[in-house]
Structure 1
Amino acid sequence: MTPGIYVGEGKVIHFTQGAGQKIGTGTFLDRIISSSSAAHLSDIPCLQCGDNPRLDGVILSCVDCFLSGGNLYRFEYGVSCVRFLAQARGGSTLAKSDPPGAALHRANFLLKNGFGGYHVFKNNCEDFALYCKTGLIVIAGISVGQSGQTASLVAAASAIVSPVLKLLIPSFSGIAFVSYTYCESRLTSDIGVRSNMEKVAVERLVANFRLGDSSAANVISREE
């Protein structure tokens, strides 16, 4: 799932890492994530939008290049807790979106000025789209950004490494415990309920990038 901001006339602004570039975790996850990424059929730039699989950063693509053979889904904002937890791989948030004009302003501003360095956990394509729609950024010092897919991964890891997991897993109570741990961790990681989020104007965000920050998750402490 690669989120983006539809800006009209069949075009999408999104944050991407060019094909063949290192994913950036420094772990075995690089290979897994890379192998699960959408494959482009050709390195030839699109005649309609100029999109190229080697491009990185914030780019403008036509819908066909953005989807790259995949299906189109609409990300949901302001959903209920039940709806949020039912979508295990992300695709929704409890946070409410700002008016369309605000999202378009942020997306177009970042298209011209960038969104920092791509990082699969701290500063990825979903972080970009969520910021454009909500204006929310994670306060510095947190190891992950606002991405729902990242939160799901962290929640799953938290459930798996639970100290009582080995004792409980054979039983029904064990399964219930792991499920509860996963849901609680994922829910509390959503940007709609986290206390470590701050509304940041896009101009301020970019100004901090220019001071040397490579990740959107670090912009607050640099200024303050």
Structure 2
Amino acid sequence: MDLFSHSVQREALQPGDHIYSWRNAYIFAHHGIYVGDGKVIHFTGGRNIEELAGCRSFSSALTSSSIPGSTTFPCEICGTDAESRGVLKSCLDCFLSGFPLSRFEYGTSSATFIAKLRGGTCTTAKSDPSELVLHRANYLLSINGFGCYHVFRNNCEDFAIYCKTGLLAIDRNAIGSSGQATSFLGIILAVAGSILRYRCSK
């Protein structure tokens, strides 16, 4: 069992799959819904998220995990550019930004879920049929609607899980609604605790 990720080859992808790619040494991952024909619908804050009126947050400026990764803007395949934000349809290369491809797993056992060393790779929730998953993703793309991107409260993982299950975090003021956000906050708290213990022991 891979405790960090669920690697998958491109040719094994099926429309409706929830895919992701780790960035920043397993600190954050970018998530989306594979819709076929080498395309992914995903939710991103864009490169200039800190400049978005009404969506500015310190935490969002800390990470580039949701930024499309084409080295040439706009991308000749999907049209993604450095200013792209919101719900987008991008080619797989822009989505992955040069990082490995993984597939999020649904309906895992409680034991498997607990054993994972990093959140944001699986859930015990069941996936809806792929037709419904694709309908949700394409509908949100058509209205560019999933609210303001926030790396902890309303992120790409929340978007993909909603498309797969119809489940949505009700309390948008609660930090860490997604698995990777919870893990990231756990790392911060663990590091802070270690520093505090070190200082107190001197």
TM-score for both structures, normalised by structure 1: 0.63
Whether contact under 8 Å (1:130, 1:147) holds in the other structure is no
Kept in 1, the 8 Å contact 2:68–2:82? The answer is no
Q: Which position in structure 1 is the counterpart of 2:90?
A: 61
- CA deviations on 1:115-159 (whole Å, 9 max, x unpaired) are 111111111111100100010012236513631111223444566
Q: Tell me how far 1:51 sits from its aligned partner.
A: 1.1
Tell me the residue number matched to 2:108: 79
- 2:147 alignment partner in structure 1: 116
Structure 1: gaps (5+ residues):
171-224
* Residues 27-46 of structure 1 mapped to structure 2, 5 A cutoff: 27=58, 29-30=59-60, 32-34=62-64, 40-42=70-72, 44-46=73-75
1:5/1:37 Cα in 2 relative to 1: closer, same or farther (>3 Å)? closer
Alignment CA distance shift 1:38-1:83 (3 Å): farther
Pair 1:98–1:145, CA change in 2 (3 A)? farther
Alpha-carbon distance in 2 for matches of 1:51, 1:141: 28
Residue type of the alignment partner of 1:4: G
CA distance in 2, matches of 1:36, 1:125: 7
Counterpart secondary structure, 2:88:
strand
Match in the other structure for 1:101: 131
Larger-Rg structure: 1
Conservation of the 8 A alpha-carbon contact between 2:32 and 2:43: yes
Contact 1:11 1:62 in 2 (8 A): yes
Q: CA deviation at 1:48?
A: 1.4
- Residue type of the alignment partner of 2:35: V
User: Identity, % of aligned pairs?
Assistant: 49
- Matched position secondary structure for 1:83: helix
Taking a change above 3 Å as real, the CA distance of residues 7 and 91 of structure 1, as seen in their structure-2 partners, is same
Gaps spanning 5+ residues in structure 2: where? 1-28
Q: 1:53 to 1:138 in 2, by over 3 A?
A: same
The answer to whether the 8 A contact 2:119-2:182 is kept is no
> What residue is the counterpart of 1:9 in the other structure?
37
Q: After alignment, is 84-93 or 61-70 more displaced? A: 84-93
How many Å separate the matches in 2 of 1:74 and 1:120? 20
TM-score w.r.t. structure 2 length? 0.69
CA distance in 2, matches of 1:36, 1:13: 12
Q: CA deviation at 1:30?
A: 4.9
